[in-house]
Structure 1
Amino acid sequence: SGLGLAVAGALHSKGWNLAIADLDSTKGTKLVTDFGPNTIFIKTDVTDYFSQVLAFKKTVQRFSGLDFVFANAGIAGRGGFYDVANEWPPKPPSLLLQDVCLTGVVYSCWLGMHYMRRNAVPGGSIVMTASAASLYPSPDLPLYCSSKHGVLGLMRSMSIPLARENIRVSCILPGAIHTSLHPEAVWAQFGKESFTSIDLIVKTVLELLDDDEAAGKAMEVSAGEVFNRKQPEFCNDMMRTIMTDKEY
């Protein structure tokens, strides 16, 4: 996506070694040419666990470790969720959105966690791309919205135990970004003032990457503002019910 490319460009300018995992071989190969020998591209289907395994394996073989995972793959759309059934019982809904936006992120974070544990000095940073739809209802995009709620829950849950292993887990929650995720006809309904700058999102990602206290942070980036969205307070005895490990 445009966001992934922008973050890659920012990291490249800072001298990072980069492994770019994506389905688009044409763009990926061009990035390797543009960025030079410290960048590799691995064609990857994030919904396929073993495709991601190969990407992580090649990355660590090439660079001898893993310091940062940006779990950013995503698609958008209704996925035909509200279409009137033309047969009965209705066919199951397409879960491609969920597979890309949630399952793919789970795979990335699972593999990132295990590889970071194997670093010469265990640790690293994982930043997930959630969404403003992680916080608010999105009636037009129910599967996208539920998947992004899942990403936020995954981040908040992983961040607590992994902080004890020097693995900082956080996420960004962007508002509307003018990227290739939607056709121009969809973007036309937004006023320009509603769009969120990719530059501001990249800045937020880099700040999380450099923040020793980033674990558990969910940074909403909307239009020109950034908000640290802390989790809601526990009600009555719910903390003891949910947080089963007393060390948390």
Structure 2
Amino acid sequence: MGMTFTGQVAVVTGAGAGIGRATALAFAGEGLKVVVADLDVTGGECTVEQIKAVGGSAVFVRCDVTVEEQVKQLMEQVISYYGRLDYAFNNAGIEIEQGRLADGTMDEFDAIMGVNVKGVWLCMKYQLPLMLAQGGGAIVNTASVAGLGAAPKMSIYSASKHAVIGLTKSAAIEYAKKHIRVNAVCPAVIDTDMFRRAHEADPRKAEFAAAIHPVGRIGKVEEVASAVLYLCSDGAGFTTGHSLAIDGGALAI
């Protein structure tokens, strides 16, 4: 069974680059109208331009997912522009911590939890009523393989992604009989601008990142996007509350 869609509109947060941009482009490639949300105006508008360049329909809305009023307004604008919301990919997230647990700071904790947990919770809080009103929908949240196990020297980040999985599973059960499916993707190391910036000064770290995956390489943003589309599609109609590892076999070891 292919990835078939019955809805018309998707919203993607963190869509100004990387996994978010790739997924917004993938949604548009399936004929969906896309609301591109990001704090980065230049990146978000670039994503919209790329979608329009191939004949798709998209609009950009600047949104800080940690601010409730901005998230509320984002969802209101989704309805204002396109009249409905069928699919949501809550992808906005940050990864800024590199140290042992006892060396972490309150600023790091608040920033990571604010975007990665509060942001996902706020997005679902305002997406779910829209989907309830129209009789169904599908939500995918970005977690991480760090949310499925330990992540030494990234304990706050790991905790935030465990929390995303908890939110995902709880919402999936709460809304299962309302025809709303909620799942998560759990990428390992993916080739994004963030990854390149973090490793440009030391290529050996990039080589190590590739080596931790049994397939011998890091992942591609398009591979995560394909998983998101599958989880939103009718082909995954019996899948909810699932955390899909996209890890090149890393968790199988």
TM-score exceeds 0.5:
yes
Question: Is 1:4 the counterpart of 2:23 in the alignment?
Answer: no
Match of 1:218 in 2: 243
171, 175, 180: which one aligns with 1:167: 180
Q: Which has the greater radius of gyration?
A: 1
Alignment of 1:5-84 (within 5 A): 5-36=21-52, 38-78=57-97, 82=101
Aligned residues: 220
> What secondary structure, in the 3-state scheme, does the structure 2 residue paired with 1:6 have?
helix
Q: Percent identity?
A: 27
Describe the shift of the 1:59–1:51 C-alpha distance in structure 2 as closer, same or farther (beyond 3 A).
same
**Higher percent of residues as helix:** 2
For 1:134-174, what per-residue CA distance to the aligned partner results, in whole angstroms no more than 9, with x for missing partners? 11111211111000000011111110120111101111111
Structure 2 counterpart of 1:144, which letter? Y
Match of 2:3 in 1: none
TM-score, length of structure 2 as denominator length: 0.80
Is contact 2:99–2:153 with CA below 8 Å preserved after alignment? no
For 1:80-114, what per-residue CA distance to the aligned partner results, in whole angstroms no more than 9, with x for missing partners? 775759xxxxx744310111111100111111111
Is contact 1:21–1:44 with CA below 8 Å preserved after alignment? yes
Structure 2 counterpart of 1:152, which letter? I
Describe the shift of the 1:11–1:216 C-alpha distance in structure 2 as closer, same or farther (beyond 3 A).
same
Match of 1:208 in 2: 231
> What secondary structure, in the 3-state scheme, does the structure 1 residue paired with 2:194 have?
coil
Is contact 1:80–1:93 with CA below 8 Å preserved after alignment? no
Structure 1 gaps of 5+ residues are 86-90, 228-248
Q: Over the residues paired in the alignment, what is the CA RMSD in angstroms?
A: 2.3
Distance 1:12 1:84 in 2: 43
Question: Is 1:104 the counterpart of 2:127 in the alignment?
Answer: no
Runs of 4+ in 1 over 6 A off after TM superposition: 224-227
Is contact 2:100–2:152 with CA below 8 Å preserved after alignment? no
Structure 1 counterpart of 2:67, which letter? D
Structure 2 gaps of 5+ residues are 1-16
For 1:120-147, what per-residue CA distance to the aligned partner results, in whole angstroms no more than 9, with x for missing partners? xx11000011110111111211111000
Distance 2:107 2:101 in 1: 9
Distance 2:155 2:250 in 1: 25
